[in-house]
A and B are shown apart, each in its own frame.
Chain A
Amino acid sequence: MTKTPTSPTFAMSRRALLLASGAGLAAGILPFGPLKAQQSGTLAMCVTPEPNAMCAAFNTASPVTVVSGKMLEGLLNYDFNVSPTPALATAWEVAADGLSITFSLREGVMWHDGQPFTSADVQYTIMEILKQHHPRGRSTLASVTAVETPDDHTAILRLSQPAPALMYALAGWESPMLPKHVYEGTDVLQNPANNAPVGTGPFVFQTWERGSHIIMTANQNYWGEGEPKLERLVVRIITDPSARAAALDAGELHLAGDGPIPVNQVQRFMDSADFQVDTRGTEMNNSLDMIHTNLRNEHLAKLEVRQALMHAMNREAMLGVVYYGLAEMLTGPIPETLPNFYTADVPSYDYDPARANALLDAAGYARGADGMRFSLRLIAPTVGDTYERMGQFLKQNFRDVGVDLELISADIPTFIRSVFGEYDYDLTLYPGSVTADPTIGSQRFWWSKAASQGTPFVNSTGYESAEMDQILEDASVEPDPEARRALFVRFQQLAMTDLPILPVARPIYVTIAAANVVNFVPGPDGIRAPYGSLAFTG
């Protein structure tokens, strides 16, 4: 990850040489001694569903971030421990009081159109684009009051209060740096560059045939030594999971991520010598399947009922039946993939139907003539088939303790309107990302002040705890890592005591590549990585 910065003069001469070698090729002469490692090969990967735009600054939908992250870069990259590594920033320093962050920017970096990348671009992007138009920029960058640019290669973020989580939100696919000279003075939302990015990344946008594919070519002026390795990167849009599996089988697709194929086929790919299956690459995202209760429901308002539901779930069987083994069952709201925050020291709820029955009896719910005590509705969005299986599984588990579960599946806008717009649900199950920092990803579900009717993916349960609010607010501005960890340990314990949300599992979304592909999961962001090092072997 750490690259020696290229000086501007060298970059210029290298560009001139490349132009010269290009002319030599055109004249039918072999290029002389390549200064840049030879790029070779065209790799086909796929995203799902089709991205709506090519630039993640305005739309952070998963497929957009995948594509955008190849062309646009951020200030930082991350390693598998989710620690920052250099990208457009080569060094950074958080002030002792946590009120400013100084970034030293890489020198000699050029935008795809040949203009130099400078601190003015950083200032413009953060203040004018990300803070105004990024779907979550307003909250992650809330405490940034100004970006100072003492020289072309230094950017200082001034903060109104310490923001320890900010350092985890600066990857290229999350907070891409945009060229000021392309965006300034335009209607940024309709800027043509949103569909044809001008970035600094290893790949340059070439074409986007809607419904079919996106083609990117190697950035000849990329700052990374010997990168990119590929000549071209083609992103195909294949909508059906079984069709994706078939395309991989037929060799028409070299790489697919984010759990691209039906889970019951993953084992076959794992066993095949023609493919590699990597279970890493979600450490930055940490999407969790959790059951959010609606505490406005008279039954669910009782803690015993929520505890009973926890005891009624057979999570060990669920791992096999629902997830085909591709999940890590949760002990609390933070997964083990975040060792800096995770603790196992929380109240636990083993599978124990007898205990669940006893709790429900004690809560005053006698079984009716049909053996049921009361019924609940579970609404889940129709994304993949996991939630359908999960619904069926839970229906059986809950029936054993006399709770009748009615399953409702809805498309995403319907689901959002019901759960977050109208609070018209009893239980809901959907993926929610902790991201790399619980302040960014977890706080919104447990913090009472995050609740805002009509806003998706925030606290919908109606949970309000002054103690919880205090812990989360303290953690969001605590600059000392140890003290911050202690706060999040208390968060996990309280979350598992009060149980407004029933944590279930962290599904493992696999990345599948042909046997001759290397570096396809180079970091914790999986297929969102810039992919400068992605290559074919041999």
Chain B
Amino acid sequence: MKPIRRRFPWAFLAKRVAYGALAMLAIAIINFFLLKLAPGDAAEALAGQAGTADPAYIAQLRAQFGLDQPLLSQLWAFLVRLATLDLGYSYVFNERVSVLIFSRMPATLMLMGAAIVIAVIGGIVFGVTAARYANRWPDRVISFVALLLYGTPPYWIGLMMILIFAVTLGWTPTSGMENVLAFNTGWDRVADIAHHLILPALAQSIFYLAIYIRLVRAGMLEVLSLDFIRVARAKGISERRLSYRHALRNAVLPLVTVVGTNVGNFLGGAVLTETVFSWPGVGRLMFDAMFQRDLNLLLSILVLSSFFVILANLIVDLLYAVINPTVELK
């Protein structure tokens, strides 16, 4: 059989990019007004941290932050900054917004990347196993544990892991991204960071893992009952090969969708894990920005996050066609 040849879907791509840009604009505007609804502003938050402040100081802060301008001109200024890809200066954090966000990005990428890889591998292995032994004890154990993990708050799991593996057993560090007292360089530093990554990545992956197992199990059960599997089985293909080569490819589409969403949400998806493990990622920056009402910084992160969600969705759609050639891109 000749492989299906397809032209690259340019029209599809152009349409989606245009929609994406519109969506980002809408997200920016809606979020701007939503965040403005939160009581208090950055000047009050800063004054609150300072413990005391006189009225002139607060007025000075407001002028500095542009908070004394009318709402619509604040929105316009923000949109202009976005359009010119200049996110501005954060007076709250005393740093350029782009520097703030992008310096925290690698930490979050590392954490989420590791967590999702662990969750996908674990989800597939346990999900397929559960489906193969449906309603027998391996399935029961896997499904029960998955349900338990799904129902447990991730930060609690994180704290328990710290207590067991870091404090009691001493296998891993308790928190942070590297041993800041060791001043490691080169491969030592890489190994050190990997060592610090283990617990947070596991804690973060557990939440996804629970969902992925259930998705893969359900998808597999459906596909395994189809005729072509019976045919394949009649041809004498081994059960393992049947599961992973024939069935999984058809069962994995829902998983791809959900993983795509999780990947797209990577910027803010790990706030709790980052907090528990003092991981210096974007999620914590977002959290701090909210509590300090640094709306420009927060909006910049949200818009950037929406960019990644849109990008991830687009990639997922393109991936559908690769995984299952019968999917048509319109």
Contacts and interface: CB of A to CB of B under 8 A. Distances in A.
Interface residues of A, number: 57
A52 B275 contact: no
B53 A210 contact: no
A249 B58 contact: no
Interface string B158-202: 010011001100100111111111000000000000000000000
Nearest to B280: A211
Interface stretch (B9-17, B86-94, B256-264): B86-94
A189 B181 contact: no
B278 A238 contact: yes
Interface of B: 38-42, 44-58, 60, 64, 89, 91-95, 100, 103-104, 107, 159, 162-163, 166-167, 170, 173-181, 275-281, 284-285, 288, 291-293
B175 A238 contact: yes
Nearest to A234: B180
Contacts of A409: none
B44 A42 contact: no
Interface stretch (A4-12, A25-33, A414-422, A519-527): A414-422
A243 B175 contact: yes
A482 B93 CA distance: 44
Contacts of A411: 40, 291
A412 B45 contact: yes
Nearest to A237: B278
Contacts, number: 181
B275 A239 contact: yes
A212 interface: yes
Given A210-B100, A412-B40, A250 B167 contact: yes
Contacts of B41: 413
Contacts of A452: 55
A36 interface: no
A417 B40 CA distance: 5
A444 interface: yes
Contacts of B42: 413
Interface string A135-165: 1101100000000000000000000000000
Interface in A24-67: 42, 44, 49-50, 52-53, 59-62
B104 A62 contact: no
A249 B166 CA distance: 9
Contacts of B39: 410, 413-414, 417-418
B48 A456 contact: yes
> Which of A189, A433, A455: most chain B CB closer than 10 A?
A455
Contact of B44 (A195, A236, A238, A416): A416
A212 B176 CA distance: 7
Nearest to B178: A212
B291 A457 contact: no
A245 to B, nearest CB: 9
> Which of B51, B95, B275: most chain A CB closer than 10 A?
B51
Contacts of A61: 46, 49-51
Contact of B166 (A210, A246, A458): A246
A216 B74 CA distance: 38
> Which of A62, A136, A381, A412: most chain B CB closer than 10 A?
A412
Given A52-B92, A234-B180, A243-B278, A136 B163 contact: no
B38 to A, nearest CB: 7
A53 B40 CA distance: 21
Q: Which 5 A-B pairs have CB atoms at the shortest separation, nearest pair first?
A: A413-B40, A211-B280, A61-B49, A135-B50, A417-B40
A59 B47 CA distance: 9
A465 interface: no
13 contacts: A59-B49, A135-B54, A210-B285, A236-B180, A236-B278, A242-B162, A243-B175, A410-B39, A413-B41, A413-B42, A413-B292, A455-B55, A457-B51
Nearest to B290: A411
B55 A456 contact: no
A274 interface: no
Contacts of A410: 39
Contacts of A421: 40, 44
